[in-house]
Structure 1
Amino acid sequence: MTRDQAERTPQQERAIRTRRRILECAGILFDRRGYAGTTVEDIAKEATVTQGALYHHFRHKQDIAAAILDEQFTGMVIPPQKLHAQELVDAGYLLCYGLQNDAIQRGAARLTMEQGTDPIDRARAMRMWVDFAASILVEAQKNGEVRPGVDVKRAARTLVASFAGVQNMSQAFSDRRDLDDYITDIWRYSLPGVINDHVLRQLKFDPARGAHIAGDDMPLAS
């Protein structure tokens, strides 16, 4: 237990749990109905809290959506690997697992992908994913894993764009049940243009890695 956890009062713990429940329930509704089709009243009812309690944590529906978009990165903790390219692959499988099982990830995906006149900053969310992927590729480049001449920022942008497209397609076809197949195809057919051959031969393309990381965050042998 950390010092911060030890110093939390029962009231603070309840507030943290309530806030999390609101976000998870909002994620479920945003995933089902979209931003425009979900009201604050809907979210409060789904979370079994009063609207007053909800407004204690979030002033507007927009604030709830913004919190969900930020929260989707909280669980993206990738165990360090000998090969940074494996960390990138693992990040894809972890996100895949979240999109199949986590209400906040699913809600964030719907918020990011849908088009509307609402005030949600979708570009910011996309930039954060590109920066996340690029940060891993930068380390891979330092480690000699990236092909000469590759612009890692543009490579990251391309991979994120591919991921956004396939998760949208998988959602349409199977409610993301086959998303892990799409992600594996992205890695197998896109990474050869980015990662050196001797590194590619060592990478493990296994969707089970996402569930493993989500379950216990233990290092995986690479």
Structure 2
Amino acid sequence: MVRQQRAEQTRARLVEVAAELFDRYGFAGTNISDITAAAGVTKGALYFHFTAKEELVEAVQDTSTALLADAVAKIAASGVSPLEALIDLSHAVARMLVTEPAVRASFRIARECGDRAKPFVDFHHAWWSVVRELLRAAKRNGQLVTASDVSLPLLAMYVGIEALWSSGMSKDDVSDLFSDAWRLLLPGLVPAELVDELLAE
């Protein structure tokens, strides 16, 4: 039991360190030696859990998608409308960008290695899936005036805001950037009488 707990702690530490280094240096800029040195473990200990750097990417993506799922569940439990849930989710992700290296790493990995598909874009696909479902629910509830599928443009907005914020091009709080974007988008998405009922913040 003690050995198993130690192994689980080592694995968790490796994933945590990998997320921090992927966030800071990117996938190509991080090597196995960097991860083992920062985690304080041998390469043998790392290869016991992960056979390649790509498997560490998958573990980091699993962490960030689990954080996303937790945020979705909490927002759903609050009972807000689907469109308000979509706005709230963007702000939840904004908070995670500040506090969670795995989420920042997932964004950077997708930017750099998105053409390699899984597992490099798992977080983006999970988010896109939630966005599509919330938009479908908003459509059923009469909250949307557009017949177009706006899920991909919305995801592009999120990714673009993250890229501006992470590059330092915008010094604004990332949540404020999402608020500004929602204020701009909502009049084109929802009936006029609902615009003032939805909080962009």
2:37 equivalent in structure 1: 45
- For 2:24 and 2:180, the matched residues in 1 are separated by 27
Correspondence for 2:173: 178
Q: Answer yes or no: is 1:75 the counterpart of 2:70.
A: no
- Aligned positions, number: 195
Tell me the SS of whatever aligns to 2:91: helix
Per-residue CA distance 1:2-28 (angstroms, 9 max, x = gap): xxxxxxx55444443332221121111
Counterpart-to-counterpart distance in 2, 1:50 and 1:177: 41
Q: Which runs of 5+ in 1 are unaligned?
A: 1-8, 207-222
Q: Which runs of 5+ in 2 are unaligned?
A: none
How far off is 1:86 after superposition? 1.3
Query: Aligned equivalents of 1:137 and 1:54: distance in 2?
Result: 41
What percent of counterpart residues are identical?
28
Q: If each structure's helix is expressed as a fraction of its own residues, which one has the higher value?
A: 2
Highest RCO, 1 vs 2 (Cα 8 Å, sep ≥ 6): 1
Partner residue, 2:159: 164
What do residues 164-188 of structure 1 show as CA deviations (whole Å, max 9, x unaligned)? 1111111112687621121112211
Pairing 1:134–2:126 present: no
Distance 1:144 1:117 in 2: 36
Contact 1:99 1:176 in 2 (8 A): no
Bigger drift between 68-77 and 197-206 goes to 197-206
* One-letter amino acid of the structure 2 residue matched with residue 72 of structure 1: S
SS in structure 1 of the partner of residue 168 of structure 2:
helix
Amino acid at match of 1:145: Q
Alignment root-mean-square deviation, CA? 2.5
Q: Which amino acid aligns with 1:91?
A: L
Contact 2:114-2:121 within 8 A present in 1 as well = no
The normalised TM-score by structure 2 is 0.84
Match of 1:85 among 83, 86, 92: 83
Cα pair 1:25 1:103 within 8 Å, conserved: no
